[in-house]
Each structure stands twice: as structure tokens, then as C-alpha cells.
Amino acid sequence: MALPITPVRAGDTVRLKKPHPCGANEWGVVRVGMDILLECRGCGRKVRLVRYEFDRRFRGFIGEPAADTPGLPLRADAAQEPTEEK
């Protein structure tokens, strides 16, 4: 059975199945491609996972980059409401 591909982009903060040996369970996505480069939010160690392993270990999003981050398009599943200026 094939796993669905998780729509992740650079700047997202994700939670994986098991915590890092330092005890942190938050990972920042540094690079996305055939493999995904993650950075531990606890100790700063960088880990590279192939896409299949990442999709298998992925448990959820913790946070996303701000909408005004230059160069990063918003994910299709992120709802945006228009803001009104007074």
C-alpha cells in the first residue's frame, strides 16, 4: 500500500513518530526535494530523510512560516482570510 505524500515545505515545523535522542520532538524543515532535510529544534542536529521515510514517520504539523515570508508560497490546504485595513 502506498503512503500519501505529505505537502510540506521549507520553514514548516513538524512532529515525527519518535523523538530525537536529545529529547526534542520538533523538527524544522530546511529543504524539500527527493529527500527532506530536517533540523532538530532541541539541539540543532540536521538529519536527511528520503521522502518515503519522512511520510512514514510524519505525525503532524506544529507550525508554519508566516504568510509574509518572501519566496515561500502558501500551501494549498492553508486557509487564508482577507485582511481589512482601516
Rounded CA gap, 76 and 6, in Å?
12
DSSP string, 29-85: EEEESSEEEEEETTT--EEEEEHHHHHHHEEEEEE---TT-TT-PPPTTS-------
pLDDT at 14: 95
Any domain includes 31:
yes
Rounded to two decimals, what is the model's pTM?
Answer: 0.69
pLDDT at residue 71 is higher than 80: no
Any domain includes 81:
no
Banded pLDDT at 85 (limits 50, 70, 90) = low
Domain enclosing residue 27, as ranges: 13-63
Any domain includes 54:
yes
Q: How many domains does the chain have?
A: 1
Any domain includes 56:
yes
Any domain includes 29:
yes
